[in-house]
Amino acid sequence: MSTTGDSDTIAQTDAEKPVTTSTNRRQPYGQGFLDTISEGWAERAETAPPARPQAAFAAARRAAVSATFPGRRLLIPAGELKQRSNDTDYPFRAHSAFSYLTGWASDAEPGSVLVFEPSGTAGHDVTLYFRERADRTTAEFYSDASIGEFWIGPRPALAGVAADLGIATAHIDALELRADDAVVDEDEDLTRFVSELRLVKDEYEIAQMQLAVDVTARGFDDIVANLPGIMAHPRGERIVEGVFHKRARSDGNAVGYDTIAASGPHACYLHWTRNDGAVVPGDLILIDAGAEVDSLYTADITRTLPVSGRFTEIQRKVYEAVREAADAAFAAAQPGVKFRQVHEAAMRVIAARVAEWGLLPVSAEEALDADSGGHHRRYMVHGTSHHLGIDVHDCAQARRDMYYDGLLEAGMVFTIEPGLYFQIDDLTVPEEYRGIGVRIEDDILMTADGPVNLSAGIPRTADEVEAWIARQSA
């Protein structure tokens, strides 16, 4: 039996009302089933849970939103289930703005809407609308495979969610939409404000980011420990993906994004997620992976490993150049510095190294010229950093002067991820470089005293990586 999409197996929801279906899978229930299905169930214990830890933080975020939009009715939808194919859906993940403002994360209900209703005085009355579970005396209980508890298990009650999140709740059927509603992702001002509000993380968010990094670190350990089996499989990249997914699901909620397991020349494709190649001794494998924990906060880590356990001379040279660029970016990341200066620091190293190796038609200084240069970007076309949090590319709707040209502040969390990629058919580089792709990515917390590498415990230097593989293989 599939776990979703079986609502069309019910021929009738009660004695008088047949189900309309577009398939031929109907299986009628007898009158005895219909007469007795609502009977013989134990009473449910209805105890209100204590407010979850993030409830107070979410309340402060809502207060900031309310103060910024006086007199406006604001809607923050959680989103709906998305169809995967035919009558099956993708796993539900609530909209990031919804989870950020409610604290309802991996357990959020599809179709929920957070509403800021202007009150008679200053501020808003905030209500969370969602479809409460149906009583077992209703047909929904057994006949609806999308929301019926017979199919998907217990669903939350209004009173329980209100206590859990510290928000007033109401049934979704009571929600009335209005033409002047400001809806996140539709209203530019609301969307931008919530995105910019997330630029500086609070205490709860920072703890969740460290938790996500810690789960991710265990996932990388799992990959290294499984390298022999990974190399033995004809699609070893898929085994890497599966090993990491197991850790992300067992210790967290899911992966925060599609894992990149890119071995050999695949490492030069920045978003390689097909993961259908072999993992061959002598090659490097670039693994970009992050675990999303139950709060929906995600890590974003990249490590590049020598498959056979030792870097070749040329691989080590490229790897350590990338690490040098990462270290330069880390040193440049200080409170009050513009965010883009982190990238600029990394690119100075990248330009210097590829010029030193004779790969540029101009000097490093000429390549770094903002108007006439850029030659070195052939080998690192992406940026060095992005904000990180409840989205892997967090705060994406923030204004440029708050993001790329914004100043680093205590509480910001972002990546540092320089790389060098020499594609297999790039005739501008000597043959020994072709097919080598290296990226090193860490998750950085800015504090008042400077940057802290949340992922520093995952081996970074070439020597540390070799020792890591040797240790796991012993």
Per-residue model confidence as pLDDT tens digits over 185-202: 999 999 999 999 999 999
Average pLDDT over residues 137-166: 90
Angle at 391 between CA 387 and CA 394, to 5 degrees: 30
Per-residue model confidence as pLDDT tens digits over 297-325: 999 999 999 999 999 999 999 999 999 99
* Pure H helices in 153-202: 158-165, 188-197
Residues 6 or more apart from 169 whose CB is under 8 A from it?
127, 128, 129, 130, 158, 159, 161, 162
Q: Which pLDDT score is estimated for 420?
A: 98
Reply yes or no on whether the pLDDT at 51 is more than 50.
yes
Q: Hey, where are the domains in the chain?
A: 6-36, 43-196, 199-473
Reply yes or no on whether the pLDDT at 14 is more than 60.
no
In this prediction, residue 75 has a pLDDT band, given cuts at 50, 70 and 90, of very high
Can you tell me the distance from the alpha carbon of 305 to that of 468, in angstroms, rounded to the nearest whole number?
Answer: 10
Judge whether 43-196 and 199-473 match in fold.
no
The CATH number corresponding to 43-196 among 3.40.350.10, 3.40.309.10, 3.30.300.130, 3.40.190.10 equals: 3.40.350.10
Angle at 230 between CA 226 and CA 236, to 5 degrees: 145
Angle at 144 between CA 142 and CA 150, to 5 degrees: 35
- Please give the structure tokens belonging to residue 138: 């209703």
Q: Which pLDDT score is estimated for 211?
A: 98
Classify the C-alpha dihedral 330-332-335-336 as positive or negative: negative
In this prediction, residue 21 has a pLDDT band, given cuts at 50, 70 and 90, of very low
Count of CB atoms situated within 10 Å of the CB of 474: 5
Which of 386, 396, 412 has the alpha carbon at shortest distance from 206? 412
Kind and range of the H or E run holding 305: strand 301-306
How are beta strands 301-306 and 284-289 bridged, if at all? antiparallel
Reply yes or no on whether the pLDDT at 27 is more than 80.
no
Q: Which pLDDT score is estimated for 17?
A: 45
Kind and range of the H or E run holding 332: helix 313-332
- What's the whole-number average pLDDT of the chain? 93
Q: Which pLDDT score is estimated for 25?
A: 67
In this prediction, residue 20 has a pLDDT band, given cuts at 50, 70 and 90, of very low
Which of 288, 416, 395 has the alpha carbon at shortest distance from 341? 416
List the strands of the sheet with 168-171, edge to edge.
168-171, 124-130, 113-118, 74-77, 182-183
Count of CB atoms situated within 10 Å of the CB of 436: 26
Average pLDDT over residues 376-385: 98
Q: Among 114-128, 301-315, 379-393, which stretch is predicted with the lowest mean pLDDT? A: 114-128
Q: Which pLDDT score is estimated for 24?
A: 65
Per-residue model confidence as pLDDT tens digits over 246-286: 999 999 999 999 999 999 999 999 999 999 999 999 999 99
Quote the pTM value: 0.93
Q: What would the CATH number be for the domain defined by 199-473? A: 3.90.230.10
Average pLDDT over residues 457-466: 98
Q: Which pLDDT score is estimated for 144?
A: 85
- Contact (Cβ atoms closer than 8 angstroms) between residue 464 and residue 440: no
- Contact (Cβ atoms closer than 8 angstroms) between residue 307 and residue 267: no
Q: Which pLDDT score is estimated for 23?
A: 53
Reply yes or no on whether the pLDDT at 11 is more than 80.
no
Number of residues in the chain = 474
Q: Which pLDDT score is estimated for 97?
A: 98
Residues 6 or more apart from 151 whose CB is under 8 A from it?
6, 7, 144, 145
Reply yes or no on whether the pLDDT at 6 is more than 60.
no
Q: Which pLDDT score is estimated for 135?
A: 82
Q: Among 88-97, 135-144, 180-189, 397-406, which stretch is predicted with the lowest mean pLDDT? A: 135-144
